[in-house]
Chains A and B, each alone.
Chain A
């Protein structure tokens, strides 16, 4: 099958299915067909093809795409000048032969776990369109879950790849902080922002991850490390790996479907050990405070000039974030280093730790509260209670989807910094053992 035929088929499928889930905000028909044609030409001339030759993908609309305004889910950014070049991650995927077919819906300015968006419409969960896709990389997860594209790019500051991966039932990789370049992406919280892929298998995650690695002088945070490919190690199995379940904070309050998923994974991997992370609730609180403060600082001028053009749910949180006393933010950053040191000590004894990605499966669109550990609380800010203590110190995580009743949920496979290969190997093993899978949704038309 030619790349052109794959691209054309994908574009047709997007046109047919997207209205049901509202995952895309831009469809790049001409660009995709031209790129696919170039790949076919290279192939016919016997030229070199990349490992992702002809694979269609789409990117959360906070990635710069040449010719498009980088929306970041907002109304205000529509007025930005169109980007003059693609984000680094896009360029690297396309250099490997992947074909960009569109830009994806997301929560406004990435301050979101729901996938609801007042400006572009809510992104809907392909498995049940009355439910949330999760955010903020809502379109990235929904487009893959719905079979519109096999691969997407998202970003994760506090859980924005892992939460929608859990709600939509796809594999998501949040790499180590600094591993993948964020150059050409609209920021949210500089010291917490990551980018990463979402796909239907651990192998596809690894393939995309490998071609996006490498230093990038355009992102001062991007690590100056050589490429450490995960794909060659993917099928080496998990024999000898020391894997534990995160207990205490990470078990309190989870819904029955999440308990079921964790129990199934633990039984399959014969995990006996349950360990406590040091002060995870403080880590979550510190991540929350840093996010609110840094996010507010980023948007302060827009909040002054155009407060009515924000989603009210985002605006009110950002305004509150602007008022946090500086001493608390500094304390949060100091605590962060303490917590990192203690958690890294745990990784001297363990190769990976498993934890829930979300407290529950996808809530209904519009749902405002849920009961967590017997306390009713606001849903929107609290979906990330289990993801925030992990991204707070930049650990690599694969969200591995586990189909359970009533809907799929994901388990976080967490490894030590720079050991994405271990998290991917475990996710791959869970797939092979029949526990992790990206389930097909009911027909979307």
Chain B
């Protein structure tokens, strides 16, 4: 999984905010970017983990 640089991530956030109709004030942007960056970094740790096509997701989890 490729990690976007800071400018690319800022552009992504602007576009996603538009799409989702989410108001983001300029003062909040850095914090949002920091959180998204951290989340994508964590997601990268399992994004390439090999699983078969048949692997069932667990959206409603059963213990």
- Could you tell me which A residues sit within 8 Å of B by CB distance? 176-179, 190-192, 221, 223, 279, 281-282, 284-286, 288-289, 292, 300, 303-304, 307, 312, 315-317, 319-324, 328, 330-338, 340, 378, 381, 393-395, 417-418
Q: Across the interface, do A323 and B60 meet the contact criterion of CB distance under 8 Å?
A: no
- Could you tell me which B residues sit within 8 Å of A by CB distance? 12-13, 16-17, 20-25, 28, 31-36, 38-40, 42-43, 45-47, 49, 51, 55-63
Q: Whole-angstrom distance between the alpha carbons of A289 and B49 in the complex?
A: 15
Task: List, sorted by A's number, 30 A–B pairs whose CB atoms are closer than 8 Å.
Answer: A177-B63, A191-B61, A221-B60, A282-B49, A285-B42, A288-B42, A300-B20, A304-B20, A304-B22, A307-B22, A312-B28, A312-B31, A319-B17, A319-B24, A319-B35, A320-B35, A321-B35, A321-B39, A323-B36, A328-B43, A331-B43, A331-B51, A332-B46, A334-B55, A337-B55, A337-B56, A337-B58, A340-B58, A394-B62, A418-B63
Residues of chain B with a CB closer than 8 A to A395's CB = 63
**Which of A176, A300, A381 sits near B63, CB closer than 8 Å?**
A176
**Which of A192, A281, A292, A319 sits near B61, CB closer than 8 Å?**
A192
Q: Give, as a whole number of angstroms, the nearest-CB distance from B59 to chain A.
A: 5
Q: Whole-angstrom distance between the alpha carbons of A325 and B34 in the complex?
A: 16
Q: Across the interface, do B57 and A334 meet the contact criterion of CB distance under 8 Å?
A: yes
Q: Whole-angstrom distance between the alpha carbons of A322 and B35 in the complex?
A: 11
Q: Across the interface, do B63 and A332 meet the contact criterion of CB distance under 8 Å?
A: no
Q: Across the interface, do B63 and A178 meet the contact criterion of CB distance under 8 Å?
A: yes
Q: Across the interface, do B16 and A323 meet the contact criterion of CB distance under 8 Å?
A: yes
- What does DSSP make chain B's interface, helix, strand, loop or mixed? helix
Residues of chain B with a CB closer than 8 A to A303's CB = 22
Q: Whole-angstrom distance between the alpha carbons of A123 and B22 in the complex?
A: 31
Residues of chain A with a CB closer than 8 A to B49's CB = 279, 282, 331, 335, 338
Known: A178-B63, A319-B24, A336-B57. 11 other contacts (CB 8 A): A177-B62, A282-B46, A285-B45, A289-B42, A307-B24, A322-B20, A324-B39, A332-B46, A335-B49, A393-B61, A418-B63
Q: Across the interface, do A319 and B32 meet the contact criterion of CB distance under 8 Å?
A: yes
Q: Whole-angstrom distance between the alpha carbons of A316 and B31 in the complex?
A: 6
Q: Across the interface, do A316 and B43 meet the contact criterion of CB distance under 8 Å?
A: no
Q: Which residue of B lies closest to A294 (CB)?
A: B59
**Leading 4 A-B pairs by shortest Cβ distance:** A394-B63, A333-B57, A320-B35, A285-B42
Q: Whole-angstrom distance between the alpha carbons of A321 and B13 in the complex?
A: 11
Residues of chain A with a CB closer than 8 A to B13's CB = 323
Q: Across the interface, do B12 and A323 meet the contact criterion of CB distance under 8 Å?
A: yes
Q: Across the interface, do B35 and A331 meet the contact criterion of CB distance under 8 Å?
A: no
Q: Whole-angstrom distance between the alpha carbons of A139 and B45 in the complex?
A: 34
Q: Whole-angstrom distance between the alpha carbons of A282 and B56 in the complex?
A: 17
Q: Across the interface, do A330 and B57 meet the contact criterion of CB distance under 8 Å?
A: yes
Residues of chain A with a CB closer than 8 A to B33's CB = 320
Residues of chain B with a CB closer than 8 A to A289's CB = 39, 42-43
Q: Across the interface, do B38 and A337 meet the contact criterion of CB distance under 8 Å?
A: no
**Which of B28, B57, B60 sits near A315, CB closer than 8 Å?**
B28
